[in-house]
Structure 1
Amino acid sequence: MDRRSFLKNSAPVLLLFTNGELLYRSALSLTSDRVKVKFRFAVASDGHFGQPKTTWDTDYGNIVQHINQQRRLKACIINGDIIHDDPAMLPLAKQHLDKLKMPYYVTQGNHDRVDEELWKKTWNMPLNHSFVVDDQVFLLATTSNIKGEYICPDLDWMRAQLEKYKQAPNVFIAIHITPVKWTDNGVDCPEFINLLKDYKNVRAVFNGHDHDQDDMKEREGIPFLFDSHIGGNWGTNYKGFRMVEVMSDNTVATYILNPGTKLNEHTLPERQVAVKS
């Protein structure tokens, strides 16, 4: 489905405004000539390539096709659980992802049970890494290890990156494990949350892992966005991914494609520094 058809037929979009306000707005309000999309990217997670008794090979083929159908995507993030435990599946999953038409980047999930050496050899990027496209900053961090344990992001690495990019207009963070115990599969990372709240250009944190979650939660004014799942044997009754659009006024609109129709659109505001009395 192209953006025009989606906007005509979809549910509300989540908008993140520059003043920190979060609200749902009619998708039709985004068609105004005054608000143009200047940057678009996709986030997908939880392919579980190789999981027994699932359609993992077909799932990957379908989701790559649907992502490739989206116009003017500058990047795609595959946010963990690319495979299902077996390291031998990593190069096979990569063969599918290499068919994406835009640059893509990966994070490690708890089922990506490989060491850093194999990870770097496969993806040509470390477990914790950052990249910048058109002034948009992305911080991607591991939240697991070769044993599949749930861990919080590396605070020293994250702090150094946030400080490095503190003048950037937008910072987007992708981690696989949910860093707040909102869900049965989350883990509390209060020091991570406390770090993020001091950097007001952090526009959103993207989480995978919780296959049954496809909307937004909020902590300390920071939106945490879930993207359903693209594979595996549980979760939402569809397999989809998240689209994110940065507008010319720096409003951020985001929604789920399931993948034929849009769901749960949001606009994400910029976060403002609180004035101390």
Structure 2
Amino acid sequence: MRRIPYILILCLSILFVQAKDFRFALFTDLHITHSTPAVEDLQRAVDQVNATSGIDFVLVSGDITEEGDLASLQKAKSLLDKLKVPYYITSGNHETKWSESGCTDFNKVFGADRFRFEHNGYLFLGFNSGPVMRMADGHVAPQDISWLKQELTKAGAEKPVILVSHYPLQDGDVDNWYEVTDAVRPFNIKVVLGGHYHSNRQLFYDGIPGLLNRSTLRAKADAGGYSIYQVTNDSIVVSEQTIGGEPKRWAGVSLYKRPDFSVNKSYPQVKMGWSAATGKGIYSSPVVYNNSVYVGDDLGDLSCYTLKEGKLKWTFKSNARIVGTPDAGNGVVVFGSADASIYGVDAKSGQLRWKMETPKAVLGAVTIRKGIAYVGGSSGSFYAIDVKTGRLQWEFTGVKGYIETKPLVYGDKVIFGAWDNNLYALEKATGRKLWSWDAGLTRMHFSPAAVWPVAAAGNVYVTAPDRVMSAIDLQSGKTVWRTKQSVVRETIGLSANSKQLYSKTMQDSLVCYATGPEVKQLWACNVGFGYEHAPSMPVEKEGVVFGSTRSGLLFAVEAKSGKLLWKYKVGNSLISTVVPLSKNRCLFTSSDGTVGLLEAGTK
């Protein structure tokens, strides 16, 4: 009888441990630069958390910096390191898009962009939701989804889990949100925490609760702030904590929808010739050379597939992600890697021919002309390299931002943009700067840096995030004309006869302009792809213009008339610039890890 009270006390003690409340803070959207009010805002948040009792740890859910640069990341870390409690951090789109290191500096500074830890019986998993380098919707890479599955499987179906990422996992924000929710739904997910919108919102991701949080930045009505979470059993309460103010609870609900593939029924003549699921994120376009297809991926692999069947022939591994599209010539495939190297790989065997090390990541796409490979890096340099030997022919060191575009080699010039607001023209033979063009923009985010320039009729043409199409004189670098007529962004293509320009608008349409000294729109086609901002270039082949979008849609338009020929949805993720093989066949790569050949027959 005397044992009963002891057993009851023991059981109650166990229940008390399982139900023990705990609190943590969440910082998001810090947007740190070298010396701005954002630094002071974060310092205030750190000081207030340190002065508040009962905070067990801090979660930091992305957009740590404004421009993704190393100095800002280091500054943010120096401030966060002043916290008296542990903190766990993951990246946001400002670290994964505007990143001179190809998003590798974040891992170097903070150790990783994922985190896993347990606290009071809860498992916390933080992960990157991209998009890596390309302007697209957020995207959770295949390897990150695999990691989530592995960690959740190890934890078991009963373990309560809190997920942390930057983007909200919903349609319009993360292109493959449904893949994430499908992967985690079998487990005991209590809530998904994030930021991105700089405001407090309560959402539901395919039935899973989601909470978005305010930025640490000061707003009109306050001096900055953050969120405080109180966890009790299976309930989670969030309060907004302003600097110097009292915590205030908040709540709200939102719905969602799954992607719609019914458009494919309207164009039954379009079929998948072949597709390969790589299980790795892909952010570059495919390259075709001697009946083989070459693809660089997010894990640093350059893979070779047969053009006819899509069968994997070989894989060469670099030490970090490949963002820029490779090129091939003279029996060699050349590509840059975020491991701060440029590689020349034998096109047949996949064996290393040569390697050139650089000071920083190389994120630029490669263009090969007459045995010379042209590519830009993140160290302020642009390189010309002998394809066969890997010998540096010349180096231009005057770039003020990192380079991701595919350079245009035209006549005696090499032309490219960088994330420093400039478009550069160099002498092809020597690398001497001929001119640079600046549209007078004050923010690096508006640079003509992701677009692949084209040239015709004495001008070079670009579009930029400022929604403007520009024509620049090839010889002088002076502006010929600029137009906002169609609200285009970071996409441009040139017709086979060099008389027409193509660009995607930011809502539904492909537009066509005439090359030349004046602004003249020739036609506009309402494709119906919705809101669009992905830098995938329209490409003409045999009178057909092929295009692709951030949401997995490919389409074809008649070049002469602007008539829509077909559209086909292959997924819900970013499709990079496609490679047409004929008027009815094109290769594509998708950020969900798919390489494929699409074929359009007769309807």
Instruction: Settle same-fold status: TM greater than 0.5.
Output: yes
TM-score scaled by structure 2? 0.34
What's the RMSD between the two structures over aligned residues? 2.7
Aligned pair partner of 1:224 in 207, 210, 231 = 210
- Is the contact between residue 135 and residue 168 of structure 1 (CA under 8 Å) also seen in structure 2? no
Unaligned 5+ runs, structure 1: 1-35, 267-277
The CA deviation string for residues 132-174 of structure 1, in whole angstroms up to 9 with x for no partner, is 2232211010112552643225211111122122255421111
Q: How much has 1:121 moved relative to structure 2?
A: 2.7
The equivalent of 1:257 in structure 2 is: 241
The equivalent of 2:61 in structure 1 is: 79
Q: How much has 1:179 moved relative to structure 2?
A: 1.7
The answer on 1:202 being equivalent to 2:189 is yes
Residues 82-231 of structure 1 aligned to structure 2 (within 5 Å):
82-85=64-67, 86-112=69-95, 113=99, 114-115=101-102, 117-124=104-111, 126-144=112-130, 147=133, 149=135, 150-152=138-140, 154-167=144-157, 169-181=159-171, 186-188=173-175, 189-199=177-187, 201-211=188-198, 213-231=199-217
Structure 2 residue identity aligned to 1:253: V
Distance in 1 (CA, whole Å) between partners of 2:231 and 2:201 is: 18
Distance in 2 (CA, whole Å) between partners of 1:244 and 1:93 is: 22
Structure 2 residue identity aligned to 1:246: V
CA spacing shift, 1:174–1:137, aligned 2, 3 Å = same
SS, match of residue 78 in structure 1: strand
- Is the contact between residue 83 and residue 90 of structure 1 (CA under 8 Å) also seen in structure 2? yes
Structure 2 residue identity aligned to 1:204: V
Q: How much has 1:100 moved relative to structure 2?
A: 0.7
CA spacing shift, 1:167–1:179, aligned 2, 3 Å = closer
Structure 1 residue identity aligned to 2:196: H
The answer on 1:64 being equivalent to 2:46 is yes
Distance in 2 (CA, whole Å) between partners of 1:100 and 1:229 is: 18
Distance in 2 (CA, whole Å) between partners of 1:46 and 1:180 is: 19
Identify, as 1 or 2, the structure richer in strand: 2
TM-score scaled by structure 1? 0.71
CA spacing shift, 1:104–1:148, aligned 2, 3 Å = farther
- Is the contact between residue 20 and residue 120 of structure 2 (CA under 8 Å) also seen in structure 1? no
Structure 1 residue identity aligned to 2:92: G
SS, match of residue 224 in structure 1: strand
- Is the contact between residue 164 and residue 194 of structure 2 (CA under 8 Å) also seen in structure 1? yes
Distance in 1 (CA, whole Å) between partners of 2:207 and 2:238 is: 17
CA spacing shift, 1:241–1:173, aligned 2, 3 Å = same
Structure 2 residue identity aligned to 1:202: I
SS, match of residue 70 in structure 1: coil
Distance in 2 (CA, whole Å) between partners of 1:158 and 1:141 is: 8
Q: How much has 1:220 moved relative to structure 2?
A: 3.2
The answer on 1:243 being equivalent to 2:228 is yes
Structure 1 residue identity aligned to 2:55: L
Q: How much has 1:223 moved relative to structure 2?
A: 1.3
Distance in 1 (CA, whole Å) between partners of 2:193 and 2:140 is: 14
Distance in 1 (CA, whole Å) between partners of 2:211 and 2:242 is: 15
Structure 1 residue identity aligned to 2:139: I
Q: Higher Cα Rg: structure 1 or 2?
A: 2
CA spacing shift, 1:58–1:74, aligned 2, 3 Å = same
Which structure has more relative contact order (CA 8 Å, sep 6+)? It is 1
CA spacing shift, 1:117–1:138, aligned 2, 3 Å = same
- Is the contact between residue 136 and residue 168 of structure 1 (CA under 8 Å) also seen in structure 2? no
- Is the contact between residue 227 and residue 241 of structure 1 (CA under 8 Å) also seen in structure 2? yes
SS, match of residue 111 in structure 1: helix
Sequence identity, in percent?
25
CA spacing shift, 1:220–1:146, aligned 2, 3 Å = closer
The answer on 1:48 being equivalent to 2:31 is yes
